[in-house]
Structure 1
């Protein structure tokens, strides 16, 4: 066994300013930082491989297709193309989660005969690259399995279903991969810098003060959110909140709210909802207000964007 082109698309789709203590969300007082995001932008997993991979295996980059690989045993060399946003070559020699949140060609180089042991799934994030979780992650997230507390029981169930398939195993494995992904995202929110994340949504959610505001915006984007109200939710002065928010996420609070509303609008328009209803539900003053903001952000009117998207 020397070279493999792994093509999961051929498989059936079964589905989908303060102290350090104040800056890090604790398990007891932090709001639910993921549920609103995952409710608005769902993710679906589909198992496509379990077992050894020998020699060179290629994973092609296709639009809106992400990968989550679990290296269970063995030693692996990973290769990426130049200017792909990930290291050209890296070596993994311990059980590891490898998340590619966006389409990115990658190749695994394993021992040519005995190989290395994997369980792998493709992921489909609603909205593709526009998905706020996807946009907040680096091209490759590499985390040792032992670094994520509570991950092992889910992996044990996943491996039990993939190692000895029974009725419903494929569907159950897909759902368990989604559980593994959620556990990984939880860990990334609490340890963003360990994954090479230094700004953006994940960094914002890792700060207890900013997380309260972000969760509130995600849950009620239609509300009126002046800076003063956001600062009260964060428990900070307006100036300190505005400066911290921008330094952490890379956007002003108002720009983040507008971007969040437009991301939701794009998803709802794509699903066929009327523009007038979308504007009203997301806090835009009028349909024309939504259209202007949409054109500024996407360089196209909602109708033009939909035609291009199709």
Structure 2
């Protein structure tokens, strides 16, 4: 079962390589709304700090590591003034920004040793080969390879969410094979008139068992999740220039007014007002 494709088809992520090589002294990465980062520590040791972030203690990295920041979080790399650690880094832009379902379901920072992710080395070898040389198309290819690395990391997280501190939300739901079947169906067909009985049948569970397991894993009810998924899609479609009427029809709302009402309740503003503030 493919748990990621429907998500990434609807909410794409774009990687942009911006550094490869040694980092010396103090390097600061500012928090920019909608911007994430994926850093690959290739060799060396260093300290990572998160100034002003409540409960985010500093970290000391002593082995090749992936550092994934799915959303805006200011962070600093502390290296010696000379002979710093060797890094390859990319900025990440997620469709939907902070409302991207993947972004919402992950902790502010994910730290994973490279050796922990099976099958990652071939993609990293290709990434480093392109990032370290100036050849035709190397920057574009490095960007795409960073996206491959991110997908491999997300696969790994879905298989062991507790390893990165995930305890509830979409990732926990997708980590349960029964719930994942229902979630994938919702992601693929948000326009269907889903009810609890249909979702439970796809999961192969009774209605009561499905509702309880879904709430325990994701922190919300199946109906509320479906509404949030539709509204996240609606927000993304609004930004692409689609009309409220067409979006309502495509996502299974009874009318444009019913979409506007649900949007206002969840987002705190009408689609038109929200779009003006989030162009």
TM-score normalised to structure 2 length: 0.98
**Match in the other structure for 1:11:** none
Distance (Å, rounded) in 2 between the aligned partners of 1:277 and 1:86:
43
Distance (Å, rounded) in 2 between the aligned partners of 1:63 and 1:226:
35
Q: Does 1:192 align with 2:173?
A: no
Distance (Å, rounded) in 2 between the aligned partners of 1:129 and 1:64:
6
Distance (Å, rounded) in 2 between the aligned partners of 1:86 and 1:210:
31
The CA deviation at 1:276 is 0.7
* Map 1:1-310 → 2, pairs under 5 A: 31-82=1-52, 84=53, 87-310=56-279
Distance (Å, rounded) in 2 between the aligned partners of 1:253 and 1:214:
9
CA deviations 1:8-62 (Å, max 9, x no partner) are xxxxxxxxxxxxxxxxxxxxxxx10000000000010000000000111111111
Distance (Å, rounded) in 1 between the aligned partners of 2:76 and 2:82:
17
Distance (Å, rounded) in 2 between the aligned partners of 1:91 and 1:192:
22
The DSSP-based 3-state class of the residue aligned with 1:120 is strand
The CA deviation at 1:255 is 0.2
Distance (Å, rounded) in 1 between the aligned partners of 2:56 and 2:266:
31
The CA deviation at 1:165 is 2.3
Task: Indicate the larger mover: 155-164 or 141-150.
Answer: 155-164
- Check whether the contact 1:81–1:88 (CA below 8 A) recurs between aligned residues: no
CA deviations 1:200-235 (Å, max 9, x no partner) are 000000000000000000000000111000000000
Distance (Å, rounded) in 2 between the aligned partners of 1:288 and 1:163:
53
Distance (Å, rounded) in 1 between the aligned partners of 2:209 and 2:128:
48
- Check whether the contact 1:213–1:230 (CA below 8 A) recurs between aligned residues: yes
Distance (Å, rounded) in 1 between the aligned partners of 2:130 and 2:238:
38
* Structure 2: gaps of 5 or more residues: none
- Check whether the contact 1:42–1:125 (CA below 8 A) recurs between aligned residues: yes
- Check whether the contact 1:136–1:200 (CA below 8 A) recurs between aligned residues: yes
RMSD: 0.9
* Structure 1: gaps of 5 or more residues: 1-30
- Check whether the contact 1:279–1:290 (CA below 8 A) recurs between aligned residues: yes
